[in-house]
Chain A
Amino acid sequence: MWHRVYAIIRREYLERIRTKAFWISTILVPVFLGAMMIIPAWLAARGGGQFKVGIVDMSRRFAEPVKEAAAKLLAEDQEKLHITFVVEPVGTDPQAAREAVKRQVQHHELDGMLVLPATLPDAGKPEYVAPNVAAFKLLSVLERAVNNAVVQARLTAAGLNPSVVGKLTKRVGLKAMKLGAEGKETRDEGQGFLLSYGFMLIIYISVLMYGIYVMRGVLEEKTNRIVEVIIATVKPFELMLGKILGIGAVGLTQFVLWGVMLLALTAPGAAGILGLSGLQLPAVPPLLMVFFVVFFVLGFLLYGTLYAGIGAAFDTEQEAQNFQGVITIFLIIPLVLMVQILNQPNGTLSVVLSLIPFFAPMLMFLRMTLVSVPALQVAAAVLLLLASILGAAWVVGKIYRVGILMHGAKPKLRDIARWLKEA
């Protein structure tokens, strides 16, 4: 049996590895993911720019304090942001001054205008008026500068020393420390979450993508009419097994290549060459990597088998769509349930959900990235998955045996149930 299964695996693997699509996705996915992580950081690092902001100070006392506060903030933050303030003298008619500055903004002489209402510091909300209000860094500096200036004025009016109050009300902050299995505490500033989320997403996308490859492969063999040539010597079950294992091996190869790329990127010196100093990837415990592969493999085997059954039962992808949707929903549910797991990784509901074979590849793995899951639960999840894979292979094997030779009329659920009895 195995040399025939091997022949099928070999063909599936080599034919797919040789496609341009494989190499393009292998290279583009990390480039894309990397770009999503690096570009915002890079933009923020070199961000800033020159801004010219007009101030219409209807309160007639806050223009200078705001300018000072802003200068202090810019100096503290070491931002590469430069703001030049142009204070518009407010005469007897504040509205006329506002209109005058507004015209300058409209004519692009100014990037925007800051309007400080007459009711400050007791009430009123300052406004920033500009064609572009998405310059978040600028907005943040302006808001903090106005706040600081106004609060300082209020404190002084109440007879308090602003610098004393500033010291006393300094933010304390909270450090998130992840407690490891051996009692080791490590600082976690959200990399933990990103890591869990990233890995779960990779499992989801890979299982879905490679599962659909299996379905398409089966459909292709039916459309090509090659299937009968093959099953004259290879049992349908062997063909199904070979196809699933071959495509799964392509998926693993892609992971290995991504792993190598990641290692190359984090190797000493590599980051500097790429001009990405400061790029820090969270260290991933090796055991977690092992389980990442384990859960991808198990998840793929379960869903790949189901997709193979759908491919065998129908003639075209359009016909298969409804059933394909049902299976895809099983894959999406864990993504929806993710919040529950994040809040209470060891809660009863989380434990139960992570044991259900359809969800386990993603949810059990997610829990493992968050907390140390009892070994017994992990073992139970793996065993349940294995049992489901065998069960699915048994049922789908029957559908496959009958379905791959069927052409023409789109089968109904009733027909498929009949095939199960016949096979």
Chain B
Amino acid sequence: MDVILSLEGLTKRYGDHVAVEGLSFDVPRGSIFGLLGPNGAGKTTTIRMVMRIILPDAGQVFLDGEPVDDDRRRLIGYLPEERGLYRKMKVLEHLVFLGTTRGLPSNEARKRASAWLERFELGEWADHKVEDLSKGMQQKVQFIGTILHRPRLLILDEPFSGLDPINARQIKDLLIAMREEGVTVVLSTHVLPQVDELCDHICLINRARPILTGALEDVRTRYGGNTWEVAGTFGAADVGQLGPVAAVHQLGERILAELAPDAAPRELLAGLLQLGDVETFVRFVPDLENIFIRAVEEDRQHVA
């Protein structure tokens, strides 16, 4: 696997409070990587350590195999959770300023910023003060500031908070387009449906520690287990009577048949065919929210 960003044993404590403990994961190049976890799990602390805004007590961060230092971190486009703009500055001036702090010459920054403002339909706002913009427009300006220096790796902390669905869609489409161009994106969020469609890799953090890491498809298979979604001329109760079925769940109109881990799916299918006609027989793919809740539950039981 071609890894762009690698965290090794990252740890941060504040007095007795452990914010992040022994966190390791690799971000594959060209992926959209979800750093997930409940509020207060340590996501923001982790990202701040990657960006060297706070320094870890232990552990290291590598970008393209080299330790991240104050120069290398500028190769990353970072949108912090706590973000803002100078309210009195004009939009275009502000973007030029952000571009120059990231090493762009000011005329180049101006050219790129104007193009992005046009693309986000903010062209006519270029000479307005930031405070005249709506919150959603300000968010877009912040996003432009993050990508202005064309970073190969983006780290976005709760990028969709405060955005309406249309603006969120716009940013999502852009992220997908950037992935096509080879840009890697690390997304931190606790709002799962937003990233379900985007992420191909995830790391789930709970109470300062990673509890689930890997490609989303693998994780889904692992948590989906031997569960099958079925439909046909039979009811949930009938399915529950079949030999290989350990449990039956009903999700609205859908019937989920959970088999014992070693049971063969064809035995279930054979049983169903005896009940009547089968219209649907597919492996159940859990969404991130299901996985998240189950993983956090298991982690709690594990600790208890």
Determine if A8 is an interface residue (Cβ-Cβ < 8 Å): yes
CB contacts (< 8 Å) of A3 on chain B: these are: 100, 103
Partner of B97, one of A7, A224, A235: A7
Complex Cα gap A10–B94 (Å): 12
Is B97 in contact with A11, judged by CB distance below 8 angstroms?
yes
Is B84 in contact with A232, judged by CB distance below 8 angstroms?
no
Given A15-B89, A235-B70: A7 and B100 within 8 A (CB)?
yes
CB contacts (< 8 Å) of B98 on chain A: these are: 229
Complex Cα gap A220–B84 (Å): 11
Q: Mark A315-356, 1 if CB is under 8 A from B, else 0.
A: 000000000000000000000000000000000000000000
Chain A contacts with B in 218-249, Cβ cutoff 8 A = 220, 224-226, 228-235
CB contacts (< 8 Å) of A224 on chain B: these are: 84-87
Determine if B142 is an interface residue (Cβ-Cβ < 8 Å): yes
B15 vs chain A, min Cβ distance (A): 10
Partner of A225, one of B54, B70, B83: B83
A123 vs chain B, min Cβ distance (A): 73
CB contacts (< 8 Å) of B145 on chain A: these are: 229
CB contacts (< 8 Å) of B73 on chain A: these are: 232-233
CB contacts (< 8 Å) of A231 on chain B: these are: 53
Is B88 in contact with A15, judged by CB distance below 8 angstroms?
yes
Q: Give the interface residue-count category, chain B.
A: 20 to 34
Q: Mark B64-89, 1 if CB is under 8 A from A, else 0.
A: 00000010011010111011111111
Size of interface on A: residues with Cβ below 8 Å to B: 20
Given A8-B101, A11-B97: A229 and B54 within 8 A (CB)?
no
Q: Mark B169-184, 1 if CB is under 8 A from A, else 0.
A: 0000000000000000
Chain B contacts with A in 9-58, Cβ cutoff 8 A = 51, 53-54
Complex Cα gap A405–B82 (Å): 10
Given A232-B53, A232-B78, A233-B73: A7 and B88 within 8 A (CB)?
no
A334 vs chain B, min Cβ distance (A): 34
CB contacts (< 8 Å) of A234 on chain B: these are: 101
CB contacts (< 8 Å) of B79 on chain A: these are: 229
Is B86 in contact with A405, judged by CB distance below 8 angstroms?
no
CB contacts (< 8 Å) of B142 on chain A: these are: 229
**B residues with CB within 8 A of A:** 51, 53-54, 70, 73-74, 76, 78-80, 82-89, 97-98, 100-103, 142, 145
11 contacts between A and B (CB under 8 A): A4-B101, A7-B100, A7-B101, A224-B85, A226-B83, A226-B84, A226-B86, A229-B84, A229-B142, A233-B103, A405-B53
